[in-house]
Structure 1
Amino acid sequence: MDWRSSKNKDNDVVISNTNKTCPVCRSPSKFITPSSRFTPKDSPERALCVEGYKATLAKIPCRYFTKSPRSERFCPYGKDCFYQHQNEDGTPHVFTLGADEMMERHKSRLIASRALNSTALFDLMSTHRWFENPYFDRYDSDEDYAFHGSDISESVDWMPELFF
């Protein structure tokens, strides 16, 4: 799908929006229908292929809808989603907004959750007492202590000699 990406394209191509079109016929491309054969743009065979593809997708449960809370069902594509949105009672869930509006809501939710997560992490880090020992200060460093040699046995008087 590199041909749909706007990376490494001339500004003229990006501005003219030709990078979101089919490379063969240059018609706008909102989705891709997999097919082993090329069919002309306005042919009935092409329409049949697209409708068959959409019908197949409509039988697959939407992962966004399934993962959303039951009290507040959500899909970032809204009424433009090709996948199945079905309530627990078997009735189809109908969204009133399309992909443009729902994507904006989805982006704002992601931004809000990331801000909340980073704030919660910052609060946890700032209130956590990292050194549980009362003899250590928060700003202690190793340079404050004089270690004589690499063997701790020099400073331990109560251990029997047999362990060292």
Structure 2
Amino acid sequence: MDVNSSLRACPICRKLSYFVIPSVIWYSTKEEKQEIVDTYKEKLRSIDCKHFDFGNGNCPFGTSCFYKHAYRDGRLEEVVLRHLGAEDGQGVIAKNIRLSDFLGGLQIR
């Protein structure tokens, strides 16, 4: 295990994790850990995402964001994942691709 993955691993189960959940509870079972994670995510889902800014912004975390993506009228953002097939037969989720990503480097003469 390299240094970066050991820093991102749970201290008990050593499972790789990309987020840290602040908690005063030290769990002892898998079920307790899952309850802490679920409670934390539920709490964050009730807080508006500052990057999404009620539809006026763009959240850099996309579908991985734990915060609420809601428009001013109360509608939640509809998440549509694009699945692509990889060479090895595994499916991958494509990120948002915009036409401007391709046209940004284009030079008109």
- Tell me which interval the TM-score lies in, with the shorter structure as reference length: 0.5 to 0.7
Specify the SS of the correspondent of 1:54.
Answer: helix
State the distance in 2 between where 1:50 and 1:86 align: 22
| Structure 2 CA distance for partners of 1:19 and 1:100, relative to 1, 3 Å | farther
State the distance in 2 between where 1:100 and 1:55 align: 26
Q: 1:78 touches 1:97 (CA, 8 Å); kept in 2? A: no
Q: 2:51 touches 2:60 (CA, 8 Å); kept in 1? A: yes
State the distance in 1 between where 2:50 and 2:94 align: 19
Q: Whose helix proportion is higher, 1 or 2?
A: 1
Q: 2:54 touches 2:71 (CA, 8 Å); kept in 1? A: no
Summarize the alignment of residues 10-159 of structure 1 with structure 2, pairs less than 5 Å apart: 13-14=2-3, 17-40=5-28, 42-43=30-31, 45-66=32-53, 70=56, 73-97=57-81, 101=95
User: Which deviations, in whole Å up to 9, do the C-alpha atoms of 1:28-75 show, x marking residues without a partner?
Assistant: 1121111112113512x222221111111111110110186x3xx521
One-letter amino acid of the counterpart of residue 56, structure 1: K
One-letter amino acid of the counterpart of residue 29, structure 1: S
| Structure 2 CA distance for partners of 1:42 and 1:55, relative to 1, 3 Å | same
Q: Whose strand proportion is higher, 1 or 2?
A: 2
State the distance in 1 between where 2:7 and 2:78 align: 32
Larger relative CO (CA 8 A, sep 6+): 1 or 2? 2
Gaps of 5+ in 2: 83-92, 105-109
Could you tell me the TM-score, scaled by structure 1's length? 0.44
Superposition misfits of 4+ residues, deviation over 6 angstroms: none
Specify the SS of the correspondent of 2:34.
Answer: helix
Q: Aligned-residue CA RMSD in angstroms?
A: 3.2
- Identity value in percent: 31
Gaps of 5+ in 1: 1-11, 113-164
| Structure 2 CA distance for partners of 1:76 and 1:100, relative to 1, 3 Å | farther
Specify the SS of the correspondent of 1:57.
Answer: helix
Specify the SS of the correspondent of 1:63.
Answer: coil
Larger Rg: 1
